[in-house]
Structure 1
């Protein structure tokens, strides 16, 4: 089993926190089979609130798929409690958002979508269901009378111990 963390980096304008709508957020991932090297051409969604039984029936997993090329059954789990928040203090740095326990596959690309939450402490304002599919987002905080935004969102995967 290999543990791989999804890390993000972004510029936050007048925002204090950015995080996913855990455990219902759909992580859209492109996956690579570690047995034969096949890379999926489709985006696969992985959600912590959904579980699927494995072939053996002894356990269940957040994502289960058979490789189209070699036929190997692979799985991926979101490690419980690994969901993090990106804060104003993290701007300019990569920070772990979630960690996956990978068996036979590894994520190689991430596509953000809707379901993010952005918070402004000063006005106590929360923006729910933020859509980051364009890798940026802009809104207006009526109480503070200023724009808020997320810009230049980047992601990468890092193997962890």
Structure 2
């Protein structure tokens, strides 16, 4: 069962961090691992489990591709490896990552029969300004978001949000 890790980086303007709160549901695009079928905008919720057919196991996402005989599944996992740590819930993208131009891991999922191919940062994210003001339940549409921190007289924004999925191969 391969583990895929979502890495992100972005340009932040007067933003100290982007928070994916505990219990955050993730909207992703997936494709059949052994085929070409794709499903876009499916939700993986770490707080919901669905039983797997013919098994005692459960997963956070269970689906069947049209021409497939088997179910495909994905489960949100925490990951603690030698050079990589991904929390199961409560991931944060920080300003330090931007300053060093580093990709930062946000999400790890174990997959069976499917592979993630996209990420849609829809609602549920929290942005914290450098002044400490929290902007709740934001959507980073088209890789950008902006607002105004009136408490600290700051323009705040997220721009050039990039993401990529990588297969985790290490221990």
Structure-2-length-normalised TM-score: 0.85
| 1:3 counterpart residue number | 3
Secondary structure in structure 2 of the residue aligned to 1:75: strand
The runs of 5 or more residues in structure 2 that have no matched partner are 79-86
C-alpha distance in structure 2 between counterparts of 1:16 and 1:45, whole Å: 27
The C-alpha deviation readout for 1:53-80, integer Å capped at 9, x for no partner, is 1112412110001121222211100004
| 1:119 counterpart residue number | 128
Secondary structure in structure 1 of the residue aligned to 2:96: helix
What is the number of residues matched between the two proteins? 158
C-alpha distance in structure 2 between counterparts of 1:153 and 1:42, whole Å: 19
Deviation at 1:127, TM superposition (A): 1.0
Deviation at 1:27, TM superposition (A): 1.6
| 1:103 counterpart residue number | 112
1:148 to 130, 152, 156: 156
- Where do residues 36-115 of structure 1 align in structure 2 (5 Å cutoff)? 37-80=35-78, 81-83=87-89, 84-91=91-98, 92-115=101-124
CA contact (8 A) 1:61 1:77 kept: yes
C-alpha distance in structure 2 between counterparts of 1:137 and 1:58, whole Å: 42
C-alpha distance in structure 2 between counterparts of 1:118 and 1:136, whole Å: 12
Q: CA RMSD in A?
A: 1.5
CA contact (8 A) 2:127 2:135 kept: yes
Secondary structure in structure 1 of the residue aligned to 2:56: coil
The runs of 5 or more residues in structure 1 that have no matched partner are none
Deviation at 1:93, TM superposition (A): 2.2
Cα separation, partners in 2 of 1:53 and 1:41, compared to 1, 3 Å: closer
The C-alpha deviation readout for 1:41-98, integer Å capped at 9, x for no partner, is 4321111111111112412110001121222211100004334211011113211011
The C-alpha deviation readout for 1:132-154, integer Å capped at 9, x for no partner, is 12321111111210101000111
